[in-house]
Structure 1
Amino acid sequence: MLDYQPFPNEPHCIDRSERGQQGAGLHGGEGLLRSAGHLKRRIAERVACGDSGDEREFAFYPPQLGSPYRERLADMGARRYGALGIAADDAQARARVRAENWNCFGASTALFCYLDRDMSTPQWADSGMFLQTVMLLLRAEGLHSCTQIAWAEYHHTVNELISPPNERMLFCGMSVGYANPASTHPSIPRAPLTETVTFLE
Protein backbone atom coordinates (compact mmCIF):
# COMPACT_ATOMS: atom_id res chain seq x y z
CA MET A 1 0.00 0.00 0.00
CA LEU A 2 1.19 3.53 -0.65
CA ASP A 3 2.45 5.35 2.41
CA TYR A 4 3.33 9.02 2.22
CA GLN A 5 5.17 11.36 4.56
CA PRO A 6 4.35 15.08 4.82
CA PHE A 7 6.36 17.84 3.21
CA PRO A 8 6.85 21.33 4.67
CA ASN A 9 6.39 23.71 1.75
CA GLU A 10 3.98 24.32 -1.10
CA PRO A 11 5.41 22.82 -4.31
CA HIS A 12 6.22 25.22 -7.13
CA CYS A 13 4.85 22.94 -9.83
CA ILE A 14 1.20 24.03 -9.60
CA ASP A 15 1.88 27.36 -11.25
CA ARG A 16 4.16 25.77 -13.86
CA SER A 17 1.61 23.09 -14.74
CA GLU A 18 -0.88 25.77 -15.82
CA ARG A 19 1.38 26.41 -18.82
CA GLY A 20 0.57 22.97 -20.23
CA GLN A 21 -1.67 22.21 -23.19
CA GLN A 22 -5.33 23.27 -22.89
CA GLY A 23 -7.63 22.69 -25.86
CA ALA A 24 -8.61 26.09 -27.35
CA GLY A 25 -7.28 27.73 -24.19
CA LEU A 26 -10.52 27.08 -22.28
CA HIS A 27 -8.94 26.03 -18.95
CA GLY A 28 -12.18 24.34 -17.90
CA GLY A 29 -10.62 22.78 -14.81
CA GLU A 30 -9.18 24.08 -11.57
CA GLY A 31 -6.67 22.61 -9.13
CA LEU A 32 -6.91 23.48 -5.43
CA LEU A 33 -4.10 22.55 -3.03
CA ARG A 34 -4.78 22.42 0.68
CA SER A 35 -3.76 20.85 3.97
CA ALA A 36 -5.97 17.78 4.31
CA GLY A 37 -6.05 17.18 8.07
CA HIS A 38 -9.58 18.41 8.87
CA LEU A 39 -10.98 16.96 5.67
CA LYS A 40 -9.48 13.54 6.44
CA ARG A 41 -11.09 13.56 9.88
CA ARG A 42 -14.50 14.53 8.51
CA ILE A 43 -14.58 11.77 5.92
CA ALA A 44 -13.11 9.23 8.36
CA GLU A 45 -16.14 9.88 10.58
CA ARG A 46 -18.48 9.18 7.67
CA VAL A 47 -16.64 6.00 6.69
CA ALA A 48 -16.61 4.76 10.31
CA CYS A 49 -20.40 5.12 10.44
CA GLY A 50 -20.80 2.93 7.36
CA ASP A 51 -21.64 5.89 5.12
CA SER A 52 -21.03 4.69 1.56
CA GLY A 53 -20.77 8.18 0.11
CA ASP A 54 -22.76 10.71 -1.87
CA GLU A 55 -24.68 10.25 -5.08
CA ARG A 56 -22.34 10.01 -8.05
CA GLU A 57 -22.11 13.09 -10.24
CA PHE A 58 -20.51 11.09 -13.03
CA ALA A 59 -19.84 7.42 -13.80
CA PHE A 60 -16.46 6.21 -12.55
CA TYR A 61 -16.52 3.28 -14.98
CA PRO A 62 -18.76 2.31 -17.91
CA PRO A 63 -21.93 0.54 -16.68
CA GLN A 64 -21.02 -2.56 -18.68
CA LEU A 65 -17.25 -2.88 -18.49
CA GLY A 66 -16.27 -5.32 -21.20
CA SER A 67 -13.15 -7.34 -21.98
CA PRO A 68 -10.21 -6.79 -21.69
CA TYR A 69 -10.88 -3.89 -19.30
CA ARG A 70 -12.83 -5.99 -16.81
CA GLU A 71 -9.96 -8.47 -16.54
CA ARG A 72 -7.38 -5.70 -16.16
CA LEU A 73 -9.36 -4.14 -13.32
CA ALA A 74 -9.73 -7.48 -11.54
CA ASP A 75 -6.01 -8.19 -11.94
CA MET A 76 -5.09 -4.82 -10.44
CA GLY A 77 -7.29 -5.48 -7.40
CA ALA A 78 -5.84 -8.96 -6.93
CA ARG A 79 -2.28 -7.61 -7.07
CA ARG A 80 -3.00 -4.70 -4.76
CA TYR A 81 -4.59 -6.73 -1.99
CA GLY A 82 -2.40 -9.76 -2.60
CA ALA A 83 0.73 -7.69 -1.93
CA LEU A 84 -0.73 -6.95 1.51
CA GLY A 85 -1.63 -10.58 2.17
CA ILE A 86 -5.37 -9.88 2.05
CA ALA A 87 -7.60 -12.68 0.78
CA ALA A 88 -10.21 -12.08 -1.90
CA ASP A 89 -13.04 -12.83 0.54
CA ASP A 90 -11.75 -10.64 3.40
CA ALA A 91 -14.13 -7.72 2.88
CA GLN A 92 -13.23 -6.02 6.17
CA ALA A 93 -9.51 -5.89 5.44
CA ARG A 94 -10.15 -4.66 1.91
CA ALA A 95 -12.40 -1.90 3.25
CA ARG A 96 -9.68 -0.80 5.69
CA VAL A 97 -7.16 -0.56 2.87
CA ARG A 98 -9.60 1.33 0.67
CA ALA A 99 -10.31 3.79 3.49
CA GLU A 100 -6.67 4.88 3.30
CA ASN A 101 -7.69 6.80 0.16
CA TRP A 102 -9.41 9.32 2.42
CA ASN A 103 -6.41 9.44 4.73
CA CYS A 104 -4.33 10.55 1.72
CA PHE A 105 -2.25 7.41 2.35
CA GLY A 106 -0.62 9.30 5.21
CA ALA A 107 0.14 12.47 3.25
CA SER A 108 -0.76 15.79 4.86
CA THR A 109 -1.57 17.63 1.64
CA ALA A 110 -4.00 16.99 -1.19
CA LEU A 111 -4.82 18.65 -4.48
CA PHE A 112 -8.44 18.63 -5.66
CA CYS A 113 -9.32 18.94 -9.32
CA TYR A 114 -12.64 20.56 -10.21
CA LEU A 115 -14.29 20.78 -13.61
CA ASP A 116 -16.80 23.28 -14.87
CA ARG A 117 -20.09 21.42 -15.29
CA ASP A 118 -20.56 22.90 -18.76
CA MET A 119 -17.35 21.38 -20.09
CA SER A 120 -17.43 18.40 -22.46
CA THR A 121 -15.29 15.30 -23.01
CA PRO A 122 -12.29 17.09 -24.56
CA GLN A 123 -11.99 19.32 -21.49
CA TRP A 124 -11.96 16.24 -19.25
CA ALA A 125 -8.97 15.11 -21.31
CA ASP A 126 -7.35 18.52 -20.77
CA SER A 127 -7.74 18.07 -17.02
CA GLY A 128 -6.05 14.68 -17.25
CA MET A 129 -3.12 16.34 -19.01
CA PHE A 130 -3.00 19.00 -16.29
CA LEU A 131 -2.93 16.34 -13.56
CA GLN A 132 -0.18 14.33 -15.25
CA THR A 133 1.86 17.50 -15.73
CA VAL A 134 1.49 18.23 -12.00
CA MET A 135 2.59 14.69 -11.12
CA LEU A 136 5.67 14.85 -13.36
CA LEU A 137 6.68 18.25 -11.97
CA LEU A 138 6.18 16.97 -8.42
CA ARG A 139 8.68 14.20 -9.13
CA ALA A 140 11.12 16.84 -10.34
CA GLU A 141 10.77 18.43 -6.88
CA GLY A 142 11.38 15.07 -5.21
CA LEU A 143 7.73 14.57 -4.25
CA HIS A 144 5.36 11.68 -4.97
CA SER A 145 1.66 11.75 -5.73
CA CYS A 146 -1.38 9.57 -6.29
CA THR A 147 -4.53 10.61 -8.14
CA GLN A 148 -7.70 9.35 -6.45
CA ILE A 149 -11.16 9.41 -7.95
CA ALA A 150 -12.33 8.05 -4.57
CA TRP A 151 -12.59 11.61 -3.24
CA ALA A 152 -15.53 12.20 -5.58
CA GLU A 153 -17.48 9.62 -3.56
CA TYR A 154 -17.66 12.15 -0.71
CA HIS A 155 -17.88 15.31 -2.78
CA HIS A 156 -20.36 17.01 -0.43
CA THR A 157 -17.87 16.92 2.45
CA VAL A 158 -14.99 18.08 0.25
CA ASN A 159 -17.14 20.91 -1.11
CA GLU A 160 -18.19 22.00 2.39
CA LEU A 161 -14.56 22.64 3.30
CA ILE A 162 -13.34 24.00 -0.04
CA SER A 163 -16.46 25.99 -1.04
CA PRO A 164 -16.11 25.80 -4.83
CA PRO A 165 -18.52 27.76 -7.06
CA ASN A 166 -21.76 25.89 -7.78
CA GLU A 167 -20.78 25.45 -11.41
CA ARG A 168 -17.72 23.40 -10.41
CA MET A 169 -17.81 19.61 -9.94
CA LEU A 170 -15.19 17.59 -8.05
CA PHE A 171 -13.39 15.26 -10.45
CA CYS A 172 -10.70 13.74 -8.24
CA GLY A 173 -8.14 14.33 -5.53
CA MET A 174 -4.39 13.85 -5.49
CA SER A 175 -2.35 12.99 -2.39
CA VAL A 176 1.05 14.69 -2.31
CA GLY A 177 4.02 13.84 -0.11
CA TYR A 178 7.25 11.92 0.17
CA ALA A 179 6.75 8.19 -0.44
CA ASN A 180 7.84 5.92 2.39
CA PRO A 181 10.43 3.57 0.84
CA ALA A 182 9.57 0.92 3.44
CA SER A 183 5.90 0.71 2.42
CA THR A 184 4.48 -2.34 0.65
CA HIS A 185 2.84 -1.78 -2.70
CA PRO A 186 2.57 -3.95 -5.80
CA SER A 187 4.00 -3.18 -9.19
CA ILE A 188 1.01 -3.01 -11.51
CA PRO A 189 1.97 -4.17 -15.02
CA ARG A 190 0.83 -2.17 -18.01
CA ALA A 191 -0.96 -3.66 -20.98
CA PRO A 192 1.51 -4.66 -23.70
CA LEU A 193 2.08 -2.25 -26.54
CA THR A 194 0.44 -4.68 -28.96
CA GLU A 195 -2.85 -4.21 -27.09
CA THR A 196 -2.77 -0.43 -26.89
CA VAL A 197 -1.10 0.81 -30.07
CA THR A 198 -1.63 -0.09 -33.73
CA PHE A 199 1.30 0.76 -35.99
CA LEU A 200 0.25 1.62 -39.53
CA GLU A 201 2.63 1.34 -42.47
Structure 2
Amino acid sequence: MDISEAVASRRSIRAFLDKPVDRAVLTRVLKKAQRAPSGGNTQPWHGVVLTGEPLSRLIARIAEDLPKGRAAHGPEYHIYPPELDGAYETRRRGVGEDMYGALEIPREDKLARLSWFARNFQAFGAPVLMLVHTPKYMGPPQWSDIGMWLQTVMLLLREEGLDSCPQEAWAVYSKQIREVVAIPEDHTFFCGLAIGWGDRGAAVNRFPVARAPLEEAVRWEGWD
Protein backbone atom coordinates (compact mmCIF):
# COMPACT_ATOMS: atom_id res chain seq x y z
CA MET A 1 0.00 0.00 0.00
CA ASP A 2 1.44 3.39 -0.96
CA ILE A 3 0.92 6.58 1.02
CA SER A 4 -1.94 7.86 -1.13
CA GLU A 5 -3.80 4.55 -0.72
CA ALA A 6 -3.27 4.65 3.04
CA VAL A 7 -4.59 8.22 3.26
CA ALA A 8 -7.59 7.44 1.06
CA SER A 9 -8.53 4.25 2.92
CA ARG A 10 -8.01 5.56 6.45
CA ARG A 11 -11.21 6.49 8.23
CA SER A 12 -12.46 6.42 11.80
CA ILE A 13 -13.62 2.82 12.10
CA ARG A 14 -16.52 2.24 14.51
CA ALA A 15 -17.02 -1.51 14.13
CA PHE A 16 -14.19 -4.03 14.44
CA LEU A 17 -13.89 -7.75 13.83
CA ASP A 18 -13.36 -10.13 16.74
CA LYS A 19 -9.79 -10.82 15.69
CA PRO A 20 -6.62 -10.29 17.76
CA VAL A 21 -3.77 -8.02 16.74
CA ASP A 22 -0.19 -9.30 16.83
CA ARG A 23 1.96 -7.33 19.26
CA ALA A 24 4.91 -7.65 16.88
CA VAL A 25 2.93 -5.77 14.22
CA LEU A 26 2.08 -2.97 16.64
CA THR A 27 5.69 -2.78 17.78
CA ARG A 28 6.80 -2.44 14.17
CA VAL A 29 4.24 0.32 13.54
CA LEU A 30 5.11 2.27 16.68
CA LYS A 31 8.86 2.02 16.08
CA LYS A 32 8.41 3.42 12.58
CA ALA A 33 6.11 6.15 13.90
CA GLN A 34 8.92 7.43 16.12
CA ARG A 35 10.13 9.14 12.93
CA ALA A 36 7.14 11.52 13.13
CA PRO A 37 8.20 15.20 13.26
CA SER A 38 8.13 17.29 16.42
CA GLY A 39 9.33 20.78 17.22
CA GLY A 40 12.90 20.66 18.54
CA ASN A 41 12.66 16.85 18.39
CA THR A 42 10.82 16.94 21.74
CA GLN A 43 8.69 13.86 20.86
CA PRO A 44 6.05 14.77 23.50
CA TRP A 45 3.82 11.72 22.95
CA HIS A 46 3.30 8.89 25.42
CA GLY A 47 1.04 5.87 25.03
CA VAL A 48 -0.24 2.89 26.99
CA VAL A 49 -1.33 0.00 24.76
CA LEU A 50 -4.12 -2.11 26.29
CA THR A 51 -5.58 -5.44 25.27
CA GLY A 52 -7.13 -8.45 26.98
CA GLU A 53 -7.94 -8.21 30.70
CA PRO A 54 -6.57 -4.67 31.24
CA LEU A 55 -8.79 -3.37 28.41
CA SER A 56 -11.80 -5.30 29.73
CA ARG A 57 -11.20 -3.86 33.21
CA LEU A 58 -11.13 -0.31 31.84
CA ILE A 59 -14.32 -0.83 29.82
CA ALA A 60 -16.06 -2.28 32.89
CA ARG A 61 -14.99 0.70 35.04
CA ILE A 62 -16.38 3.22 32.57
CA ALA A 63 -19.61 1.20 32.24
CA GLU A 64 -20.20 1.76 35.96
CA ASP A 65 -20.41 5.52 35.44
CA LEU A 66 -22.14 5.67 32.06
CA PRO A 67 -25.63 5.84 33.66
CA LYS A 68 -24.57 8.98 35.56
CA GLY A 69 -24.34 10.94 32.31
CA ARG A 70 -22.49 14.25 32.32
CA ALA A 71 -22.29 14.22 36.11
CA ALA A 72 -19.49 11.66 35.80
CA HIS A 73 -17.54 13.59 33.16
CA GLY A 74 -14.25 15.29 33.97
CA PRO A 75 -12.18 16.09 30.87
CA GLU A 76 -8.85 17.81 31.46
CA TYR A 77 -9.29 20.07 28.42
CA HIS A 78 -12.07 21.31 26.11
CA ILE A 79 -12.59 18.61 23.48
CA TYR A 80 -14.25 21.27 21.30
CA PRO A 81 -13.93 25.03 21.86
CA PRO A 82 -17.02 26.34 23.69
CA GLU A 83 -17.33 29.00 20.98
CA LEU A 84 -17.18 26.55 18.05
CA ASP A 85 -19.52 27.84 15.35
CA GLY A 86 -19.93 28.44 11.63
CA ALA A 87 -18.58 25.89 9.19
CA TYR A 88 -16.64 24.09 11.94
CA GLU A 89 -19.76 23.37 13.99
CA THR A 90 -21.72 22.53 10.84
CA ARG A 91 -19.13 19.91 9.89
CA ARG A 92 -19.08 18.45 13.40
CA ARG A 93 -22.85 18.06 13.52
CA GLY A 94 -23.03 16.94 9.91
CA VAL A 95 -20.78 13.92 10.29
CA GLY A 96 -22.79 12.84 13.33
CA GLU A 97 -26.05 13.03 11.45
CA ASP A 98 -24.54 11.18 8.50
CA MET A 99 -23.38 8.42 10.84
CA TYR A 100 -26.77 8.05 12.53
CA GLY A 101 -28.40 8.11 9.11
CA ALA A 102 -26.23 5.17 8.02
CA LEU A 103 -27.26 3.38 11.22
CA GLU A 104 -30.92 4.26 10.55
CA ILE A 105 -31.27 5.85 13.99
CA PRO A 106 -33.57 8.90 13.72
CA ARG A 107 -32.94 12.08 15.72
CA GLU A 108 -36.00 11.49 17.91
CA ASP A 109 -34.74 8.08 19.08
CA LYS A 110 -32.56 9.50 21.83
CA LEU A 111 -32.16 6.19 23.65
CA ALA A 112 -30.80 4.41 20.57
CA ARG A 113 -28.40 7.27 19.91
CA LEU A 114 -27.15 7.20 23.49
CA SER A 115 -26.75 3.43 23.30
CA TRP A 116 -24.66 3.79 20.18
CA PHE A 117 -22.59 6.61 21.69
CA ALA A 118 -21.81 4.32 24.62
CA ARG A 119 -19.94 2.05 22.20
CA ASN A 120 -17.20 4.69 22.21
CA PHE A 121 -16.31 3.38 25.65
CA GLN A 122 -16.08 -0.18 24.42
CA ALA A 123 -13.53 0.98 21.82
CA PHE A 124 -16.16 -0.03 19.23
CA GLY A 125 -15.20 -3.66 19.81
CA ALA A 126 -11.53 -3.16 18.91
CA PRO A 127 -9.13 -5.63 20.58
CA VAL A 128 -6.57 -2.89 21.28
CA LEU A 129 -6.85 0.58 22.78
CA MET A 130 -3.90 2.96 23.05
CA LEU A 131 -4.27 5.72 25.64
CA VAL A 132 -2.30 8.86 24.82
CA HIS A 133 -0.98 11.38 27.34
CA THR A 134 1.62 14.15 27.58
CA PRO A 135 3.20 16.32 30.32
CA LYS A 136 0.83 19.05 31.53
CA TYR A 137 3.26 21.85 30.72
CA MET A 138 3.22 21.00 27.01
CA GLY A 139 1.50 23.65 24.89
CA PRO A 140 -0.40 23.81 21.58
CA PRO A 141 2.73 23.26 19.44
CA GLN A 142 3.47 19.99 21.24
CA TRP A 143 -0.18 18.90 20.98
CA SER A 144 0.20 19.50 17.25
CA ASP A 145 3.25 17.21 17.33
CA ILE A 146 1.14 14.51 19.00
CA GLY A 147 -1.40 14.86 16.20
CA MET A 148 1.31 14.32 13.59
CA TRP A 149 2.50 11.25 15.48
CA LEU A 150 -1.02 9.84 15.67
CA GLN A 151 -1.58 10.37 11.95
CA THR A 152 1.71 8.61 11.26
CA VAL A 153 0.61 5.70 13.45
CA MET A 154 -2.77 5.48 11.72
CA LEU A 155 -1.29 5.47 8.22
CA LEU A 156 1.27 2.82 9.19
CA LEU A 157 -1.58 0.73 10.60
CA ARG A 158 -3.26 0.91 7.19
CA GLU A 159 -0.03 -0.32 5.59
CA GLU A 160 -0.38 -3.40 7.81
CA GLY A 161 -4.04 -3.82 6.82
CA LEU A 162 -5.22 -2.62 10.23
CA ASP A 163 -7.75 0.09 11.08
CA SER A 164 -8.15 2.60 13.87
CA CYS A 165 -10.37 5.23 15.42
CA PRO A 166 -8.91 8.23 17.25
CA GLN A 167 -11.21 8.86 20.22
CA GLU A 168 -11.08 12.08 22.18
CA ALA A 169 -14.35 10.89 23.74
CA TRP A 170 -12.32 8.94 26.30
CA ALA A 171 -11.11 12.27 27.72
CA VAL A 172 -14.45 12.83 29.50
CA TYR A 173 -13.60 9.88 31.77
CA SER A 174 -10.05 10.90 32.59
CA LYS A 175 -10.58 10.39 36.34
CA GLN A 176 -11.97 6.89 35.91
CA ILE A 177 -9.21 5.93 33.47
CA ARG A 178 -6.58 6.99 35.97
CA GLU A 179 -8.15 4.64 38.55
CA VAL A 180 -7.29 1.57 36.46
CA VAL A 181 -4.43 2.69 34.20
CA ALA A 182 -1.18 4.28 35.41
CA ILE A 183 -1.23 7.73 33.79
CA PRO A 184 1.31 10.03 35.50
CA GLU A 185 -0.30 12.70 37.67
CA ASP A 186 1.77 15.41 36.02
CA HIS A 187 0.49 14.41 32.56
CA THR A 188 -2.67 15.41 30.71
CA PHE A 189 -4.71 12.50 29.42
CA PHE A 190 -5.45 13.28 25.76
CA CYS A 191 -7.28 10.54 23.87
CA GLY A 192 -7.70 6.90 23.00
CA LEU A 193 -6.88 5.17 19.73
CA ALA A 194 -8.91 2.04 19.00
CA ILE A 195 -6.93 -0.42 16.87
CA GLY A 196 -7.97 -3.61 15.13
CA TRP A 197 -9.27 -5.23 12.00
CA GLY A 198 -12.14 -3.08 10.74
CA ASP A 199 -15.46 -4.59 9.77
CA ARG A 200 -15.44 -2.81 6.45
CA GLY A 201 -18.88 -4.20 5.57
CA ALA A 202 -20.59 -2.53 8.53
CA ALA A 203 -22.86 0.39 7.60
CA VAL A 204 -21.15 2.66 10.13
CA ASN A 205 -17.87 2.15 8.27
CA ARG A 206 -19.25 2.77 4.81
CA PHE A 207 -21.08 6.10 4.82
CA PRO A 208 -19.37 8.95 2.95
CA VAL A 209 -17.54 11.37 5.24
CA ALA A 210 -17.69 14.84 3.71
CA ARG A 211 -14.56 16.94 3.40
CA ALA A 212 -14.46 20.67 2.77
CA PRO A 213 -13.28 21.69 -0.70
CA LEU A 214 -9.65 22.74 -0.91
CA GLU A 215 -10.70 26.35 -1.56
CA GLU A 216 -12.12 26.59 1.97
CA ALA A 217 -8.86 25.50 3.55
CA VAL A 218 -6.06 26.87 1.36
CA ARG A 219 -5.36 30.26 -0.22
CA TRP A 220 -2.73 30.61 -2.97
CA GLU A 221 -0.55 33.71 -3.33
CA GLY A 222 2.18 34.46 -5.88
CA TRP A 223 1.03 31.77 -8.33
CA ASP A 224 0.02 32.33 -11.94
**Letter paired with 2:15:** D
Runs (4 or more) in structure 1 with deviation over 3 Å come to none
1:75: Cα distance to partner? 1.1
Matches of 1:57 and 1:157 in 2, distance apart?
12
1:147: Cα distance to partner? 0.1
The reply on whether 1:23 has 2:35 as its aligned counterpart is no
The reply on whether 1:4 has 2:16 as its aligned counterpart is yes
CA contact (8 A) 1:37 1:108 kept: no
The reply on whether 1:50 has 2:68 as its aligned counterpart is yes
The reply on whether 1:194 has 2:206 as its aligned counterpart is no
Structure with the larger helix share: 2
**Letter paired with 1:38:** R
Deviation per residue, 1:18-46 (Å, 9 max, x gap): 12111101122212211122211211222
**Paired residue secondary structure (1:64):** coil
CA contact (8 A) 2:21 2:127 kept: no
The reply on whether 1:103 has 2:122 as its aligned counterpart is yes
Matches of 2:14 and 2:183 in 1, distance apart?
28
**Letter paired with 1:16:** K
TM-score, normalised to structure 2's length?
Answer: 0.85
1:192: Cα distance to partner? 0.7
What is the RMSD computed on CA atoms of the aligned residues? 1.4
Structure with the larger strand share: 1
Matches of 1:162 and 1:103 in 2, distance apart?
16
Matches of 1:25 and 1:119 in 2, distance apart?
13
CA contact (8 A) 1:111 1:175 kept: yes
The reply on whether 1:92 has 2:115 as its aligned counterpart is no
The reply on whether 1:72 has 2:91 as its aligned counterpart is yes
1:16: Cα distance to partner? 1.6
2:4 equivalent in structure 1: none
CA contact (8 A) 1:33 1:111 kept: yes
Report which stretch shifted further, 68-77 or 115-124. 68-77
1:144: Cα distance to partner? 0.3
**Letter paired with 1:171:** F
Matches of 2:157 and 2:77 in 1, distance apart?
28
Matches of 1:141 and 1:79 in 2, distance apart?
28
1:182: Cα distance to partner? 2.5
Matches of 1:164 and 1:87 in 2, distance apart?
38
The reply on whether 1:118 has 2:141 as its aligned counterpart is no
The reply on whether 1:132 has 2:151 as its aligned counterpart is yes
CA contact (8 A) 1:30 1:115 kept: yes
Aligned residues: 200
**Letter paired with 2:22:** N
Deviation per residue, 1:53-81 (Å, 9 max, x gap): 33221111111112111211121111011
1:176: Cα distance to partner? 0.3
**Letter paired with 2:14:** L
TM-score, normalised to structure 1's length?
Answer: 0.94
Deviation per residue, 1:86-137 (Å, 9 max, x gap): 1112211111111111111111210111011000110000000010011011
**Letter paired with 1:34:** L
Report which stretch shifted further, 51-60 or 27-36. 51-60
Question: Structure 1: any 5+ residue segments left out of the alignment?
Answer: none
**Letter paired with 1:172:** C
1:148 equivalent in structure 2: 167
Percent identical pairs in the alignment equals: 34
